[in-house]
């Protein structure tokens, strides 16, 4: 069994044509500042570690950093976390948070999930499921089963880019044909705004 985390998992999805936030894994302050210049503010810094499953639980995510001073302080905090292996410098994307997941079931084979993303996913439990592969019709039906679909449709005239989410769900389903050895895949969050959908965090488990 192989676990892909952070940049490794994001590189995997990017090669498959998924929209992934610009990012770079670094270990020194000098490299972090170079990456910050290349990517451009605002930024997110995240702890990279195979031993840390939930980064936010250990203070391993610093968001909306807008200056070199803020970024240096955040980097020091992240690299002082126990078991920190590196720091991921990532473009900060604004929008609403959703999740897309895959799980290999012993009976149904791959099952795909869509719903509310972020740190409250397990509390809210707003998720719709389908057996892969799925068609565009099934994608639309499953999205409409969630409470979070109302956010996508638009609140106070702000309609999010639903079509980009549909496309990512179809691409995720298609991965199971090319990579039947995917045991689990968790995109959380997928950040969606009026313009686009962007993968900002992913974890993949392969046979």
Q: Where are the domains of the chain?
A: 22-91, 96-206
Which pLDDT belongs to residue 155? 80
- Which of 147, 159, 164, 163 lies closest to 198 in space, CA to CA? 164
Paired tokens of 28:
């020194």
pTM: 0.93
Q: Say how far apart CA 16 and CA 156 lie, in whole Å.
A: 35
Q: What is the pLDDT of residues 32-79, one digit of tens each?
A: 999 999 999 999 999 999 889 889 899 999 999 999 999 999 999 999
Cβ-contact 204, 3 below 8 angstroms = yes
Cβ-contact 172, 100 below 8 angstroms = yes
Cα angle 199-113-86, degrees, rounded to a multiple of 5: 35
Q: Say how far apart CA 13 and CA 202 lie, in whole Å.
A: 9
Q: Say how far apart CA 9 and CA 81 lie, in whole Å.
A: 22
Which pLDDT belongs to residue 120? 66
Paired tokens of 94:
């604004």
Dmax over Cα atoms in the chain, in whole Å?
52
Give me the architecture of the 22-91 domain, per CATH.
2-Layer Sandwich (3.30)
Cβ-contact 62, 78 below 8 angstroms = yes
Does the pLDDT at position 181 exceed 90? yes
Pairing of strands 197-199, 127-131: unpaired
Q: Which CATH superfamily is domain 96-206 in?
A: ATP-grasp fold, B domain (3.30.470.20)
Average of pLDDT values for 4-23? Answer: 95
What are the residue ranges of helices labelled H in 29-114? 29-39, 68-79
Q: Say how far apart CA 3 and CA 185 lie, in whole Å.
A: 10
Mean pLDDT of the chain: 95
Q: What is the pLDDT of residues 120-166, one digit of tens each?
A: 677 678 999 999 999 999 999 999 999 999 999 988 778 999 999 99
- Which of 132, 114, 83 lies closest to 186 in space, CA to CA? 114
């Amino acid at each position: 069994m192989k676990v892909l985390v952070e940049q490794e998992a994001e590189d995997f999805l990017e090669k498959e044509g998924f929209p992934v936030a610009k990012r770079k894994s670094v270990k020194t302050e000098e490299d972090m500042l170079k990456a910050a210049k290349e990517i451009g503010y605002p930024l997110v810094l995240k702890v990279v570690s195979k031993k840390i499953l939930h980064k936010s639980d250990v203070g391993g995510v610093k968001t909306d950093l807008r200056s070199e001073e803020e970024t240096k302080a955040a980097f020091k905090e992240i690299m002082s976390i126990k078991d920190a292996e590196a720091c991921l410098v990532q473009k900060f994307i604004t929008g609403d948070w959703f999740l897309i997941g895959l799980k290999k079931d012993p009976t149904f084979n791959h099952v795909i999930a869509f719903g509310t993303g972020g740190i409250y996913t397990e509390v809210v439990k707003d998720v719709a499921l389908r057996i892969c592969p799925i068609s565009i019709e099934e994608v639309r039906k499953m999205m409409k089963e969630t409470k979070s679909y109302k956010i996508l449709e638009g609140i106070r005239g702000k309609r999010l880019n639903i079509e980009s989410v549909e496309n990512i769900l179809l691409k995720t389903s298609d991965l199971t044909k090319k990579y039947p050895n995917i045991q689990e895949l968790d995109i959380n969050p997928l950040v969606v705004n009026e313009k686009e959908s962007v993968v900002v965090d992913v974890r993949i488990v392969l046979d």
